[in-house]
Structure 1
Amino acid sequence: MIIFVFISIAYLILMISLIYGWQQIPEFSSNFSTAETGFSIIIPFRNEGENLPVLLKSLAELQYPADKFEISLINDASEDDSVEICKNFQQNYPEFSIKILENNRQSNSPKKDAITTAIEKAEFKYILTTDADCRVPKLWLQTLNDFIKNTQAALVAGPVSLIPPSPPITPPEEGRNVKPFRAFEELDVLSLQAAGAGAFGIEQAFMCNGANLCYRKDAFLEAGGFSGNNEIASGDDVFLLQKFQQKKYKVNFLKSQEATVQTQSQKSFRALISQRIRWAAKAPAYKSLFSKFAGAIVLLMNVGLLVGAVLALMEIWPYYPVLIIFLLKFNVDFALLYLSAKFFKREEVLRSFFWSSLAYPFFSTYVALKSLVSGYEWKGRKFRS
């Protein structure tokens, strides 16, 4: 019980620190300054025929001079009509510089190889990555241009949210209902966004998302690119962030609704678990002490709640300390999630927070343990943790 109490105190301190960090980051809006920054937008894809039209349509609507950005689409052995969709996009928008490349596989990480393949041919100073199942905002590049001019950051992590359910349900009051599975996933995404940004706010950045990540090409090359972790299938974002920090490059979080990239929700609970196992599998390779501490405390807190609940039911532990700790965790988690949900204008999903908070310890514990003992499937390929 004493150990559980100490873990709980550490967890509360961690969450309060992340809440403070989130609030320390000011919201940023574009001031529509002169477009000076050049961007090489890099998008790896594999069997994304269903999602690419949404992404490509959003890219065509970018409000930024066409001579200041290029789009590199890297095919990773697709077996559907993804390449044909990309070629049609290239033909329909001749005013854009669009490259369709084949992935040059060199490691155990197809995505890192694809990004590296594109960077070798990139013409602009800043690399900007997103995923094929995303949708980018019209002012994405303009906002990044303004932010980079203000901060001179070598790496900018941008916000990511789920694409809202569509078509919208009418009448409006019925739109308050969110499917339980999707609500659970969205709350998880909101918590990850808030935690990641909060860590930037206290200068302990350890998490970002490759669906919205911008960095200088020369800094990437000076840091050695993905070398040293390219045998880990995922982590093109987190490991690069850690490398930039080791090199003392300036890294920032862009807290801007105008620069928020939206991504598709997972199609099933099984797909969600597989995705989270993939994310968790890279955690043992983290080098940041803060990231190791945060990951361990969050895991121990969730495991502790499960063990505490079982021992309380067996009347080995008194139930009230476990209940008090759960309520403290409930409130501090809600505070962080509320800030994130308010920023992304998704407050309605908080209606599912209570039952999600009961389910989350089971979910996170299972994902963490599964990531340690088994592999996972990603884009039709199997990888070992």
Structure 2
Amino acid sequence: MVVISIIIILVYLFLIGSFAFGFDKVKPFKLKDTPAKTTFTVIIPFRNEAKNLPSLLKSIIKLEYPKHLFEVIFVDDESDDNSVEIINKFIAKSQNNIEIIMNERTSNAPKKDAITTAVKDAKNDWIITTDADCILPKYWLDCYDEFIQEHHSKCIVAPVTYNKTNGFLNRFQLLDLLSLQGTTIGSFGIKKPFLCNGANFGYQKSAFNELNGFKGNSNIASGDDIFLLEKMVKAYPKKVHYLKNEHAIVSTKPQQSWLLLIEQRLRWASKANAYTNWFSKLTGLIVLLTNALIISLGLLSILGVFNVKIFLYLFFIKFNIDFFLIYKSATFFNQKEALQSYPLALILYPFFSVYVAFLSVFKTYKWKGRTFKR
């Protein structure tokens, strides 16, 4: 058992170490004040987002990009609050090109349907998706435009973070997201991209149509970002890039309770079995095995069945390599304050992740007032 445990930890060390190495391989992209050229359609699906829309709409007003070069399409997914009213009032006062359309449901995936509906209506060359609970940075579209002009991309993955760091729950979620973002950036650095976030995800409309959008995974409610990324990477391996620029960071809100956080993670985990990227599956398996191993060895050490010193050595290796990657990510996102909760979060996280993985095998999950099966 000792030998197997050491092998698992060493494999984990190599995996996370490769992401940390890859993180630095993705060089920061610097704005050069190049004249704007690219036309964008920003797609924002929403369902009962009245509390979040005012902040999003204010950030849209502040976008520095030329107004004639972008449009915003809000897709109403059967909202029963005053979300539509809030957006319509904003449209009446705004000089931006903004419209609301109704979602055309054709599958078990409301958000995928919403994006597909909007893409059909989109007038511009590039699609960028974000969420109604996000805040957009003012040079957001400038970053995309200059990057596209320089790299001639087909698909662009861009950074996302949480905008609250007060309290352990918020910092726990932020550390988890920083780990995911670090892994995302690192995977691009080692030429094996497999993660992205639909809150900040761009692609050519023509590429979306060529790949038949979400066809092939529309039976899975979530995954509007990951499954499309998999298609893009397979079709255009040298044209999928990561936009590593602090002015491109979209911020969103963490979950307000542990129960809501578990529901969110269940939704994320529900699509894992449908991944087609072997490296994605291998990474998920290694991470799950390592977290389960830490829990098991910790309990066995307490019971006197496993050598405590060996357990502490293995835990120390995991503690440091995880911190190494998260520190890089926290530095890029300028959120080092979250690191104060890292020791406690690292102890709690294996239990949290294994619990969510176990529940995802059996449990349905709720999303926007609807219940979905795995």
TM range (shorter): over 0.9
For structure 2, the 5+ residue unaligned runs are none
Give the drift of 1:3: 2.1
Residue equivalent to 1:111: 111
In the TM superposition, structure 1's runs of 4+ consecutive aligned residues that sit over 2 Å from their partners are: none
> Which of 209, 213, 233 is equivalent to 2:221?
233
Are 1:382 and 2:371 counterparts? yes
Output the CA distance in 2 between the equivalents of 1:125 and 1:89.
25
Output the CA distance in 2 between the equivalents of 1:142 and 1:238.
24
Give the drift of 1:29: 2.2
Cα offsets for 1:18-58 (capped at 9, x unmatched): 00110001111221211110000000000000001100110
Cα offsets for 1:104-128 (capped at 9, x unmatched): 0000000000000000010101000
SS at match of 1:127: strand
Output the CA distance in 2 between the equivalents of 1:140 and 1:248.
24
SS at match of 2:6: helix
Instruction: Report the residue type matching 1:124 in the other structure.
Output: N
Residue equivalent to 1:301: 290
Q: Is the 8 A contact 2:50 2:83 kept in 1?
A: yes
Give the drift of 1:314: 1.6
Q: Is the 8 A contact 1:45 1:131 kept in 2?
A: yes
Give the drift of 1:323: 1.1
Moved more, 370-379 or 43-52: 370-379
Give the drift of 1:96: 1.6
Cα offsets for 1:217-264 (capped at 9, x unmatched): 000111110000111111000000000111134111111110000001
Give the drift of 1:369: 1.1
SS at match of 1:311: helix
Are 1:261 and 2:245 counterparts? no
Residue equivalent to 2:26: 25
Residue equivalent to 1:344: 333
Give the drift of 1:97: 1.4
Residue equivalent to 1:175: none
> Which of 144, 167, 187 is equivalent to 1:199?
187
Q: Is the 8 A contact 2:164 2:170 kept in 1?
A: no
Matches within 5 A, 1:326-341: 326-341=315-330
SS at match of 2:9: helix
Residue equivalent to 1:171: none
* TM-score, normalisation: structure 1: 0.95
Give the drift of 1:371: 1.1
Q: Is the 8 A contact 1:206 1:288 kept in 2?
A: yes
Matches within 5 A, 1:258-297: 258-297=247-286
Output the CA distance in 1 between the equivalents of 2:258 and 2:363.
18
Cα offsets for 1:296-323 (capped at 9, x unmatched): 0000000011111111122221111111
Output the CA distance in 1 between the equivalents of 2:265 and 2:133.
16
Instruction: Report the residue type matching 1:123 in the other structure.
Output: K
Residue equivalent to 2:345: 356
Give the drift of 1:376: 0.4
Instruction: Report the residue type matching 1:191 in the other structure.
Output: S
Residue equivalent to 1:183: 171
Q: Is the 8 A contact 2:154 2:236 kept in 1?
A: no
SS at match of 1:191: helix
SS at match of 1:120: helix
Q: Is the 8 A contact 2:156 2:240 kept in 1?
A: yes
Output the CA distance in 2 between the equivalents of 1:277 and 1:224.
27
Instruction: Report the residue type matching 2:189 in the other structure.
Output: G
SS at match of 2:121: coil
Matches within 5 A, 1:102-181: 102-164=102-164, 178-181=166-169
SS at match of 1:236: coil
Output the CA distance in 2 between the equivalents of 1:164 and 1:309.
32
Q: Is the 8 A contact 2:363 2:373 kept in 1?
A: yes
Residue equivalent to 2:81: 80
Residue equivalent to 1:323: 312
SS at match of 2:34: coil
Output the CA distance in 1 between the equivalents of 2:83 and 2:225.
24
Q: Is the 8 A contact 1:49 1:85 kept in 2?
A: yes
Moved more, 364-373 or 294-303: 364-373
Instruction: Report the residue type matching 2:17 in the other structure.
Output: I
Output the CA distance in 1 between the equivalents of 2:292 and 2:368.
30
Output the CA distance in 1 between the equivalents of 2:124 and 2:360.
37
Give the drift of 1:207: 0.4
Q: Is the 8 A contact 1:29 1:258 kept in 2?
A: no
Residue equivalent to 2:355: 366
Residue equivalent to 2:100: 100
Give the drift of 1:348: 1.3
Instruction: Report the residue type matching 1:72 in the other structure.
Output: I
Output the CA distance in 1 between the equivalents of 2:289 and 2:181.
21
Output the CA distance in 1 between the equivalents of 2:11 and 2:148.
35
